[in-house]
Amino acid sequence: MELVTQNQCFGGTQSVYRHLSEVCGVEMTFGLYLPPQARTRPVPLLWYLSGLTCTHENAMIKAGLQRHAAEEGLALVFPDTSPRGEGVADDEAYDLGQGAGFYVNATQKPWARHYRMYDYIVTELPALLQEQLPLNGINGVTGHSMGGHGALTIAFRNPSLFRSVSAFAPILNPTRSDWGRKQFSAYLGDDEAHWGMYDACLLLSELGWQGDILIDQGSADQFLGQLQPEAMARLMAERRQAGVLRMQAGYDHSYYFVASFGEDHVRWHAERLNAA
């Protein structure tokens, strides 16, 4: 890992690293916050997966999670949302290509060469972080919008890696959404039988989840039609899945929404990760 920047933050350190990813075939950049407790003992790690058009910087700068993480003794990692750079496939649309990896392993040309964000988040980056940083191997995951989709689908498929999962305004049923069908068709092909492994509602129905789930959704979110929180609410009720989906009156899809409830999510994860 090559250290790009490092700043003191709430008694800990906020760093940015880059490394050559074998999975994605390019240099990848991520943000990493270590709380002050990491100076004396290994700490749990909370992953934050960002949404469409974001880089590692958006949540790192705007969400305000470091103060709460410092108080709770959690490390934070902010991965990028896709591979980037010259030679990496892209599209003119904001919701496909660079900045829009959707946390899938692409199987279709020209995306398959670099767009393997599922393996990057599940396999490569965890191993790198665990090897080089004072982490205790206990992980939680959260995310916003496309990143909320990533957090839920990755956690549901990897319960041995992630002990806790939450999301802010996640894309919950992408196989039935404009934010999903377009991208899955491009990255995974037109056979919808291959899409279900990246749909939170379908995965929860098939696999369940061992713990509880926290989802916050703004009632004034301009993208409610694409996010489909009602599909997850019905499913959680039908399955009697432990957890809560909270509709927050008046909040939209912005980072002001994430920052408003970020403390709730960090403390919620800390209760589960520090008790593990």
For 141-150, the pLDDT digits (tens) are 999 999 999 9
Q: What is the pTM of this model?
A: 0.97
Q: What is the CATH number of the domain that holds 41?
A: 3.40.50.1820
Q: What is the dihedral of CA 244, 250, 255, 258, to 10 degrees?
A: -20
Longest alpha-carbon distance in the chain: 51
Looking at residue 275, its pLDDT comes to 82
> Is the separation of the CB atoms in 198 and 179 below 8 Å?
no
> Is the separation of the CB atoms in 147 and 54 below 8 Å?
yes
Looking at residue 276, its pLDDT comes to 66
Residues of the chain with pLDDT under 50: none
Looking at residue 42, its pLDDT comes to 98
Tally the residues of the chain: 276
Looking at residue 118, its pLDDT comes to 98
Catalytic residues: 145, 221, 253
Sign of CA dihedral 249, 60, 148, 189: positive
Q: What domain range includes position 44?
A: 2-274
Task: Name the β-bridge partners of 162.
Answer: 139
- Structurally, the chain folds into a number of domains equal to 1
DSSP letter (8 states) at residue 122: I
